[in-house]
């Protein structure tokens, strides 16, 4: 698969790196000489110091025979124009544009294609949706719901359970006698995809995957998210905050949405109490005008006890979405210390993501990862979608749906030709779920979960189907 990317900034370079790891043929175009030079030294792909909206430069980049064209320049209009030029000049590639304007984003959702843009990625909207999903599902470092909580991934320190240290995975599964999988083990900061004869040590962090009731039997009941979020505190009157508030208000008004059980107050039909805090007076005024039904507070939370006085200790949910990621982490952590039920912090990049296991936060949402995942989910063949990326290594838990014309349809797991380094973790068939064996047969309509190294994605695309993305 050949992919041309315009824009070698933080997101563009990140996506290029991930696509190269997946064995894609990537050409990166960057107008700024210094940025292009840095990308060329850091990435194993062709980097052209050219103007991404110059038709001749696009021709030299080989856009004519590319499968995808992704525009990630700083300006929305430049990205749309670039996609329009490609669409009108080269019939083969499909196009993706990153846009931040909600106006352009709404156009993209209303039409399959507009102005030559096949897919629109709005970073703020994607980040807000991820935050809302984390709030709804109660994502934490110890528990990750998958497929609407039909399957869960939980972790345990091996030293906390005498059944684990000093025993192989085969011995542990036989002794427990339930249908579960140990798909990954973290040891000394590195992640291993263990075989059955792998022996667990006391300091290992062990991942277990199974149906929720099975994991509850093995590890004890997992903490469930509260059915209602009555008091929500949002730190930072940013565009991401706007999108979060829009989602909460929208879903709170529609009791049929899957979010409504979280963002509803049955004793008050007006919905949850939302407070937005920002130290910038103009930002606070803009937010008050935009959302007259919520509470807006203009104050600096650096003031001693300010967060406590604003009621963070009694909040069901605290969301920190300022432009300073270190401030978001510290404020969310302080809110948890004060007694907040859940706290989520927004990151602009992945600099602090490795701190996640050491923090008492319910989720760290990386803007860079959210955008990268959204684009990867579009361009990957066989509609492969990332469910969870393990920060300890280049390993992902992905899922895909078996199509009628998939070469995998009707075959047993042992006959699929799954490459070494990848593991079929679960198979969902209708309303049933299973931890598969080699004799498990995958059928059209099934959802298959696979634990895999990033470098094997291309091979999985070949195994499960030849579609070139959505």
Q: Taking the alpha carbons of 287, 293, 297, 301 in that order, is the dihedral positive or negative?
A: negative
* Percent of the chain's residues with pLDDT above 70: 88
| Residue 454 token pair | 């990033």
Count the Cβ atoms, other than its own, within 10 Å of residue 92: 13
**Using one digit for the tens of pLDDT, what is the confidence trace for 248-269?**
887 655 554 444 444 443 334 4
Q: Taking the alpha carbons of 248, 251, 253, 255 in that order, is the dihedral positive or negative?
A: negative
Q: What is the 3-state secondary structure (H, E, C) of 100-133?
A: CCHHHHHHHHHCCCECCECEEECHHHHHHHHHHH
Question: Which of these CATH numbers, 3.10.50.40, 3.40.50.1980, 3.30.70.1450, 3.40.640.10, describes 380-464?
Answer: 3.30.70.1450
Which position has the higher pLDDT, 248 or 331?
Answer: 331
Q: Which CATH class is domain 2-121?
A: alpha beta
Predicted local confidence at residue 36, as pLDDT: 96
Count the Cβ atoms, other than its own, within 10 Å of residue 315: 25
**Measured CA distances, 187 to 204, 207, 302 (Å):** 5, 12, 38
User: Is CATH 3.40.1050.10 the right assignment for the domain spanning 152-219?
Assistant: no
Per DSSP, the residues of 63-108 read: GGG-SEEEE--SSHHHHHHHHHHHHHH-SS-EEEEE---HHHHHHH
Distance CA 308, CA 15 (A): 40
pLDDT band of residue 115 (cuts 50, 70, 90) is confident
Which position has the token pair 């930072």? 236
Domain ranges, ordered by start, for the chain: 2-121, 128-140+225-370, 152-219, 380-464
Predicted local confidence at residue 298, as pLDDT: 92
Task: Determine the topology of domain 128-140+225-370 in CATH.
Answer: Rossmann fold (3.40.50)
Decide: 299 and 306 in contact? Cβ < 8 Å: yes
Is pLDDT above 60 for 148? no
Please tell me what DSSP assigns to residue 382. Answer: G
Decide: 240 and 371 in contact? Cβ < 8 Å: no
Decide: 216 and 251 in contact? Cβ < 8 Å: no
Which position has the higher pLDDT, 311 or 259?
Answer: 311
For the segment 438-459, the average pLDDT, to the nearest whole number, is 91
Q: Tell me the pLDDT of the chain averaged across its residues.
A: 86
Predicted local confidence at residue 265, as pLDDT: 38
| Residue 444 token pair | 């059209």
Predicted local confidence at residue 340, as pLDDT: 92
Decide: 45 and 418 in contact? Cβ < 8 Å: no
Whether 128-140+225-370 and 152-219 share one fold: the answer is: no
pLDDT band of residue 289 (cuts 50, 70, 90) is very high
Predicted local confidence at residue 113, as pLDDT: 66
Predicted local confidence at residue 469, as pLDDT: 47
pLDDT band of residue 107 (cuts 50, 70, 90) is low
Which position has the higher pLDDT, 238 or 153?
Answer: 238
Is pLDDT above 80 for 140? no
Is pLDDT above 60 for 139? no
Is pLDDT above 80 for 158? yes
**Using one digit for the tens of pLDDT, what is the confidence trace for 224-235?**
555 467 899 999
């Amino acid at each position: 698969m050949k992919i041309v990317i315009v824009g070698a900034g933080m997101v563009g370079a990140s996506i290029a790196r991930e696509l190269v790891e997946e064995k894609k043929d990537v050409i990166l175009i960057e107008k700024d000489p210094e940025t292009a030079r840095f990308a060329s030294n850091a990435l194993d792909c062709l980097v052209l110091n050219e103007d991404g909206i110059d038709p001749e430069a696009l021709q030299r980049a080989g856009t004519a025979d590319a499968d995808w064209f992704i525009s990630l320049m700083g300006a929305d209009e430049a990205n749309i124009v670039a996609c329009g030029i490609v669409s009108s000049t080269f019939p083969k590639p499909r196009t993706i544009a990153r846009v931040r304007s909600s106006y352009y984003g709404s156009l993209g959702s209303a039409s399959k294609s507009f102005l030559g843009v096949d897919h629109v990625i709005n970073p703020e909207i994607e980040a807000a949706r991820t935050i809302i999903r984390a709030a709804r599902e109660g994502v934490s470092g110890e528990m990750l719901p998958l497929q609407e909580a039909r399957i869960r991934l939980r972790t345990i320190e091996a030293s906390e359970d005498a059944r684990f240290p000093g025993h192989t995975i085969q011995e542990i599964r036989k002794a427990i006698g339930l249908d579960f999988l140990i798909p990954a083990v973290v040891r000394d900061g590195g992640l291993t995809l263990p075989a059955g004869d792998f022996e667990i040590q006391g300091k290992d962090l062990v991942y277990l995957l199974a149906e929720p009731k099975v994991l509850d039997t093995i590890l004890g009941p997992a903490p469930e998210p509260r059915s209602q979020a009555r008091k929500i505190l949002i730190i930072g009157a940013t565009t991401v905050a706007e999108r979060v508030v829009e989602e909460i208000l929208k879903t709170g008004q529609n009791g049929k949405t899957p979010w409504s059980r979280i963002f509803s107050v049955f004793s008050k039909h007006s919905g949850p109490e939302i407070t937005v805090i920002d130290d910038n007076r103009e930002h606070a005024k803009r937010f008050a005008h935009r959302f007259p039904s919520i509470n807006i507070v203009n104050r600096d939370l650096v003031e001693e006890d300010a967060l406590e006085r604003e009621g963070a200790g009694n909040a069901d949910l605290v969301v920190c979405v300022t432009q300073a990621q270190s401030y978001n982490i510290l404020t969310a952590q302080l809110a948890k210390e004060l007694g907040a039920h859940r706290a989520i912090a927004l990151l602009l990049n992945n600099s602090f993501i490795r701190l996640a296991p050491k923090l008492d936060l319910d989720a760290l949402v990386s803007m860079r990862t959210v955008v990268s995942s959204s684009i990867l989910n579009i361009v990957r063949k066989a509609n492969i979608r990332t469910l969870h990326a393990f920060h300890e290594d280049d390993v992902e838990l992905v899922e895909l749906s078996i199509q009628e014309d998939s070469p995998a349809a009707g075959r047993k797991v042992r006959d699929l030709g799954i490459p070494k380094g990848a593991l079929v973790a679960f198979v969902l068939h209708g309303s049933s779920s299973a931890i598969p064996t080699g004799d498990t047969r995958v059928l059209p309509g099934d959802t298959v979960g696979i634990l895999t190294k990033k470098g094997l994605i291309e091979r999985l695309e070949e195994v499960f189907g030849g579609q070139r993305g959505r």
